[in-house]
Amino acid sequence: MPQVQITGLTKRFGPVIALEDVNLDIRDREYLSIIGPSGCGKSTLIKCIAGIFAPDKGRILVDGQAIENAPIQHRRIGYVFQEIALFPHMKIFENVSYGPRVQGHTRQSAQALVDELLNLIKLSDRADSLPLELSGGAQQKVAVARALASGSALLLLDEPFGALDSKVRADLRYEIRKMTNDLGLTVLHVTHDQEEAMSISDRVVVMKAGKIIEDGTPLQLYLRPKMIFTANFLGEANFLRGTVIQQTSTGVVVQAEDTHLQTIDRTREVGEEVIIAVRPEFVSIARGHGDKNRLRGKVGDVRFMGQIVRYEVEIAEGRTMYVEHPICFGELEIEPLDEVTLGMSPHHTMIYSVPKHGLEKELQLE
C-alpha cells in the first residue's frame, strides 16, 4: 500500500536551484501527474524519488520509511522513462522476467508473474519476440511490465510516451491507466502534455521554477485555477485587463475594453486592477451587435479544426481574442471581416490580480 510523503525536498545543480523546498503527499492508489514547463523541476523530483539523484535536503517517505538515502535497487519502485530501454538482445519474456530473476526467482517461478503482466498489456503472443520487432508503443508497454515485475506497487512514469507518435500516445495512456487501476498501483507521472495529465489523473500538480505552485483535480485546475500561470498552462486563455467597478450579490463587475463583464468572484474590491481570463471555448460569438455585457470585434482568421472552428477576433487595435466554437453546437455563418459580438459566461470567467512582474513574464513557459 504505497503512500509517499515528500517534505522540504531541495536539490541544486551548481548555481541552479532545481527543487526548492518541495512538499507533496501522494495517497495510496492515487494517480498523480506533475506538469510544468521545461526546467520547472518535475523531472528532478521524480528522479529523486527513483534514486537517480540524491536530494540536498528533505525527506522522502514511502509507507513511512525514509528512502532518500537508500540505493536504487533497495527502493522497490518501478521506474519508466522516455527513452525505451529494453535489453535489445533479450526476448520480451526475458526482459520482463529480468527483475525477478535478479531477485533469485527461477525462470519457472517467474513464469506465472510474467505471463500475467504480458497478458495485462495484451502482448502474451509476443513473449518470444525481440524488442525491435515491436512498435515503439508496444515496447514502452513492455518497459512498464518490466518495471512492475519486481513486485513494486509504486510506479514512476517519467515522460513515458514522449518518444511516441501522438495517435499511439493517446491510445497508450488510457491502456496504462486502466492497467495501473486494475493492479491498484500508486502512480506518479511526469509529463509536459496537459491533456494527457488531465485525462488520466486523479490529481494534477503544477510546478514552476522548482516549486509546486498549485494542485487539484483536473476539473478544478482547468475550470477554476487559482494561479494565472495555471490558467494559461493548462489550456489556452484570453486575458483582458480591467478594473473592478461594482460588487453585486453574485460577484464583481469588471470594466474592461469599454464593456462590463460579470464574474462570480466575490473577493475583489472596487477599484482593484485585475486580469480577466477566459478560455476560447467559453467565449460565445455571434454576428452583429449585442447587449452591454459583450465585447465587439472584427473577425480575422477562421480555422476549421475538426470538432471546433477557431475564430480570431480583433477587439481593439492590436488586441485579439480567440474563440473556439464546437461544431456540434451548430455551424455558424461567420466569415473573416464580419463584425461580431463576444459573450462570456460569468461562470467561466476567471479573475486574477495583476502579476507583480507583468503578465507576460508571469506566463512565460521557460
Partner 1 sequence: MPSVRLVDILKRFGAITAINRLSMEIVDGEYVCLLGPTGSGKTTLLKLIAGLTIPDEGEIYIDDKLANKIPAEERGAVYVPQQYALFPHLTVLENVAFGPLARGVNEEEALRTGREMLEMMRLAHRADSKPDELSGGMQQRVALARGLATEAKLLLLDEPLGALDARLRVELRYKLRRLAEQSGVTTIHVTHDQAEATAIGDRIAVLREGRIRQYATPFHMYMRPQSLFVAHFVGGANFLQAVVAKRHLEESVLELHQGLKIIVGDTTHLSAEEVVVVIREDRVNMAEPTEKVDSDRYNIIGGEIQSARFLGSFVSHQIRLANGDMVTSKMPTQRLEKPLPAGKKVIVYFKPSDTMVYSYPPIGLSRELRVL
Residues that bind partner 1 (CB under 8 A): 37-39, 135-137, 165-168, 174, 178, 192-196, 198-200, 218-219, 222-223, 232-236, 279-282, 303-308, 310, 324, 326-329, 348, 365-366
Beta bridge partners of 252: 247
Least CB distance to partner 1 at residue 59 (A): 30
Least CB distance to partner 1 at residue 24 (A): 21
Q: Is 11 helix (H, G, I), strand (E, B) or coil?
A: strand
What secondary structure does DSSP assign to 196-245, as a single string?
Answer: HHHHH-SEEEEEETTEEEEEE-HHHHHHS-SSHHHHHHTS--EEEEEEEE
| Residue 219 and residue 49 in contact, taking contact as beta carbons nearer than 8 Å | no
Of the pair 186, 194, the CB lying nearest partner 1 is at 194
Of the pair 28, 193, the CB lying nearest partner 1 is at 193
Of the pair 89, 178, the CB lying nearest partner 1 is at 178
Least CB distance to partner 1 at residue 322 (A): 9
Grid coordinates 476567471 are at which residue?
Answer: 350
Of the pair 36, 99, the CB lying nearest partner 1 is at 36
Least CB distance to partner 1 at residue 133 (A): 12
Kindly tell me the burial class for residue 163, based on how many C-beta atoms sit within 10 Å of its own C-beta (0-12, 13-18, 19 or more).
middle
Of the pair 269, 360, the CB lying nearest partner 1 is at 360
Least CB distance to partner 1 at residue 336 (A): 12
Least CB distance to partner 1 at residue 309 (A): 9
Element containing residue 296 per DSSP (H, E): strand 295-304
Edge-to-edge strand ranges of the sheet holding 186-190: 78-81, 154-158, 186-190, 31-35, 203-208, 211-216
Among candidates 279, 318, 325, which has minimal Cα distance to 298?
A: 318
Grid coordinates 470538432 are at which residue?
Answer: 307
Of the pair 167, 356, the CB lying nearest partner 1 is at 167
